[in-house]
Each structure stands twice: as structure tokens, then as C-alpha cells.
Structure 1
Amino acid sequence: MLPAGVPSRIDRIVGGRAMLLAPAVGLLVGGIAAGVVALVQLVRPDADLLSAVLGVLVVAGLSGGLHLDGLADFADALGSRRDRETMLRIMKQSDIGPFGVVAIVGVLLLDTAALTACLQANFGWQAVLIATTASRLTLPWSCRTSVPAARPDGLGTLVAATVSPLIAAVTTTAVLAATLAFTSLSQPTDLLRLTGTAATILLAVLTSFVVARRARRTLGGTTGDVLGATVELALPISLLTLALTV
């Protein structure tokens, strides 16, 4: 996990600001992973799969595996098809069930396959940078004011309903503009590629809406695990979108 100083005050105001800064953290994480991908490509231009695997592992490692753990817990809870209280209890347990294992393996395979396709299209390090940033853009939307916390304790309580939709929209617009500019500068201008880049950002936002709606229906709101699951689901969706359009 990336080292960071401990804030002197931890409350919902700080939590909301942290969610707004999540895309910047995604940019940092993606930048490190992009550097690894570019370095491997420089040394072994024919090793697309190796570059993709290392890039995906760097992203997961820099996140401390927390988002993958959240994905697994949320998958196990939904897979149980039990009542709300039981699902919340399942998500608090430290073990991972079969649904969680399948979810983790599935997203990692999709991440790797999609990034490999991007590398083969000479858009590899750019793709991991864009997709990682886009996946973290889900956090402000997942913590918008209309999404409550599912339980009275935990990370969800600290950040749920802390971000104004207007502020989230402004953040999204800034990320979208920066991403389009980056795509235009890094590669010859191509309408399909620019469209794919824009779709990547918008689909990441859509992912946050879909997951938040499911969490509200089944859990009554969001939790830290749900937030992590949203990030991990948005990453392969972003990479797949880029793989199909670059």
C-alpha cells in the first residue's frame, strides 16, 4: 500500500475530501504501473502478456489488496442470497468463500487479457494509466449524498453520503477532459480511440451507480467492501472498453 501521512483529524469531512481525491490516487497508482509496463516493453517488446501481468499485479499490490478483498466479501454476501443482516455478517468475516474466489480470479483474468490486447495495439501503458484513474473515479459517485451507509460503523459510515453530486460531476468533467487531452497527445488523433477513452470514463461512473443501487437494495447502503468492489469492477470494464476501441 502507498505510504501516507496520518491526518490529524478523521471525520466525514476528511472522508469526503479523500473520496474526491481518489482519482488523483488512481493517477499515481496507474502511473507507477504504467512505468513498469513501459519498462518491460522496452526490455522485451514481444512480452505483452508478461507486461500485462506485472502491470495488474502492481496495481493490486499498491492498493494493498484491499479492493480485491472488498470484491470478494461483496461477492460472497450476494452469492449467499440471505437476508440483509446475514450478508453484512458474511462481509465482516475474514475468510473468503467460493463466490469471492471466483470474483477475484475473474477480474484479474479480465484485467490481464484486456491489458494484453491494449499492449498489442500499442496502447498499453496509456491504458493502465487511464483505466486505473477511471476506476477510482467511482469512489466520489459511490459516496454521493443519496447513498447511505449500510451499518453504523466502519469505513462506509465515514465516507457515505459525503460527496455532492455536483462536485462529483465537476470532478468527472475534469478527469474526462484531462484523459481526452492525454489520449490526443500520446497517440495520433483517432476518433474511435477518443470515443473509447470517453466511454471508459462514463462507464466507470455508470458502474458506481449500478453497484450502489444493488448495495442499497440488498444491504441498505454502502460499506467499505462495496466501495472496494466497485473499484475492482470498474477496472476491467475500463480496460475492456479501451481494448475494444484502441
Structure 2
Amino acid sequence: MTAIPVPAPRRVDRGVAGVAMAFGLVAAVPLAAAAGLVVAAGGAIGLPAPAVAGLALGAVALGSRGLHLDGLADTADGLGASYDRAKALEVMRRGDSGPTGIATLVLVLLVQFGALTGAISDGHGVTAAVLAVLCGRCVLSLCCARHLPSARPEGLGATVGGSVPITVAALVFVLAAALATLAPGLPWWRGPLVVAVGYAAAALLLARCVRRLGGITGDVLGGCVEVAVAGALLAAA
């Protein structure tokens, strides 16, 4: 989830995978902190809001090695390639980005950039950046909830697909929304709205992928993270 080196687990199975997906919020704290610090520092030295937004989004991308952005582009290429499930999955497996993936990546980043710029201009950019990054990782528990299958018999999707009990996925959402009521600089109801909109955006993409691809893949997880961040930033702005 981040580029921060940590010791490998002694074993990797569905139980370990489920815990990892459920605790995506915790793993994302360094990324959220980095985004918030960049926004705060940019404001303190008087940088223009667009420059600060670009630097903050760049810091998050750097901190995750662009993994989720790559997943978004591959997912878009797969969904746009063919109505044939096998061909769509093959396109996603290649890893190179076609015009659909590039256009989707640019447009989603533009939405994130514009929304964060607006939030910074309104004086709550730090809160917006932190909430959006954390919300984007919380949705991983939704994407890996029980009964959501993997699109392939191998790969990351096969390891984490359906590994999170529905009650745990629901608890992650409730806790995230409850903690968001304490978000500084926002009315108490605005934080939970940010979380809800981020989840709704990810759920729309998730539903489309499950219907078209037959389940989730690692790329789908990355795509849902980035779409959730965009939705959360829009709500925050």
C-alpha cells in the first residue's frame, strides 16, 4: 500500500490478506500525513493553491510508487477493450497503458487536482487531503468483502477477494464516518459525507468491474482507491 519498507509477514494466506485489507486505513496514515504536511507547508510559505495541490498529490503518488494510479489506468483499458471478459482481463494483465487508460488517468487526476485546489482555497485543504487519502484506502475492505469473487484464479485478487467479512467491512465504514465527524475545519456532518461520497464512487466502479470482469483484480483495487479519493475530494471541496 506504500513504498515504506516493512518486514514481510511469516505467511501470506486469506486470513492475513483479510486483515491487511481491513487495516488499509492504518497503512495509509503515513501517506495522509505526507499530503497534509505538504498542504500545510505550501500554505505557510505562500505557494499558489494549484501548486500546493499538485505537490500533495505527487507526494501521495510517490509514497505508493504510483501503484493505484497504474491500477486505475489498467482497469480503464480493460473495461474499454472488449465486452469479452477474457480479452479484457488479458489487456489488463499486459500492464501497458492504452488511450482509454491514459485518458481516464488524466481526467481522474484533474478531478482530484481541481477539488483539492478548491479545498485549499477555502481554507480546509489539510483536512480534505488527509480525509481523502484515508477514505481511499478504507474502501479496500469494501472491495474485498465476502462474496465478492476474484476475476482470476491467481494474482492479488485471488488472494484478497472475499477475504474481509461483511461485518468487518461495514465496521470500517462506520468507524471512518464516525472519526470524520471530528475533522477540523468542517461541520460535523461534512466529514461523514466526504467518506460516503468516496465509498459511493468506489462502489460504482466496483459494481461495474464485477459485472464485466466477473470479480476483482489487483488493478481494480487500485482503480477503486483513486476513484474514491476523487469522490472524497469533491465532497470536501
Which bin holds the TM-score, normalised by the shorter protein? over 0.9
Q: Which residue of 1 aligns with 2:9?
A: 7
**In the alignment, is the contact (CA less than 8 A) between 1:135 and 1:231 conserved in 2?**
yes
Q: Give RMSD over aligned pairs.
A: 1.3
* TM-score normalised to structure 1 length: 0.92
- Distance between the aligned counterparts of 1:117 and 1:197, measured in 2? 16
- Distance between the aligned counterparts of 2:205 and 2:164, measured in 1? 17
**In the alignment, is the contact (CA less than 8 A) between 2:71 and 2:220 conserved in 1?**
yes
Cα distance, 1:158 vs structure 2: 0.6
- Distance between the aligned counterparts of 1:101 and 1:60, measured in 2? 16
Cα distance, 1:80 vs structure 2: 1.4
Residues 196-232 of structure 1: CA deviation (Å, up to 9, x unaligned): 3211111222233322221121111000000000001
Residues 155-204 of structure 1: CA deviation (Å, up to 9, x unaligned): 001100011111111122111111211x2xx23xx6xx333321111122
Give the match's secondary structure for 2:163.
coil
- Distance between the aligned counterparts of 1:142 and 1:91, measured in 2? 18
Count of aligned positions: 235
- Distance between the aligned counterparts of 1:239 and 1:91, measured in 2? 27
Residue 229 of structure 2 corresponds to residue 235 of structure 1:
yes
Cα distance, 1:94 vs structure 2: 2.3
Residue 188 of structure 2 corresponds to residue 194 of structure 1:
yes
* TM-score normalised to structure 2 length: 0.95
Deviates more, 1:74-83 or 1:93-102: 74-83
- Distance between the aligned counterparts of 1:94 and 1:81, measured in 2? 16
Q: Which residue of 2 aligns with 1:206?
A: 200
Give the match's secondary structure for 1:194.
coil
Residue 145 of structure 2 corresponds to residue 151 of structure 1:
no
Percent identical among aligned pairs is 34
- Distance between the aligned counterparts of 1:121 and 1:223, measured in 2? 37
Q: Which residue of 1 aligns with 2:79?
A: 78
